[in-house]
Amino acid sequence: MDYLFHIVPAVAVGLQITLKIFIITIVLSLPLGILMAIGRISKIAILRKAMYVYIYVMRGTPLMLQILFIYYGLPFIIDGLKLPAFPAAIIAFVLNYAAYFAEIFRGGIQSIDRGQYE
């Protein structure tokens, strides 16, 4: 039981960071996902294809790889850029979950009959 009381402060700090990441990710990725879904069903071919490729890549690669790329790869590509861990995690989560939300919203939009939304 002493061990539990010993680790509770560390777990509480981790929980606080996790909740911050979760809230920021949801707030930023939902609107971005809606915009991507609209772009995915757009009549503009280049926009539709760009959204398709983006969603395909983001959903097809592991989130851990995306986090590592943003944290280590972007500073290698963009000289002088050094992202702290928290913003890098936020960027990776937002970009990843926005792609998933875009497919969810696109499916929902396309499931409505044309006559029903007119």
In this prediction, residue 15 carries a pLDDT of 95
Long-range contacts of 104-113 (CB under 8 A, 24+ apart): 104/33, 104/37, 105/33, 105/34, 105/36, 105/37, 106/37, 106/40, 106/41, 109/37, 109/41, 110/41
Closest to 94 (Cα-Cα) out of 30, 4, 29: 29
Amino acid in the structure at residue 31: P
What does the pLDDT profile of the chain (118 residues) look like in tens digits? Answer: 788 888 988 899 999 999 999 999 999 999 999 999 999 999 999 999 999 999 999 999 999 999 999 999 998 898 888 889 999 999 999 999 999 999 999 999 999 887 887 7
In this prediction, residue 2 carries a pLDDT of 81
In this prediction, residue 13 carries a pLDDT of 92
In this prediction, residue 54 carries a pLDDT of 97
Give Cα separations from 19 to 13, 25, 97 (angstroms).
10, 10, 16
Considering the domain delimited by 2-117, tell me its CATH architecture: Orthogonal Bundle (1.10)
In this prediction, residue 113 carries a pLDDT of 85
- pTM passes above 0.95: no
Q: Are 41 and 33 in contact (CB under 8 A)?
A: no
Q: Are 71 and 85 in contact (CB under 8 A)?
A: yes
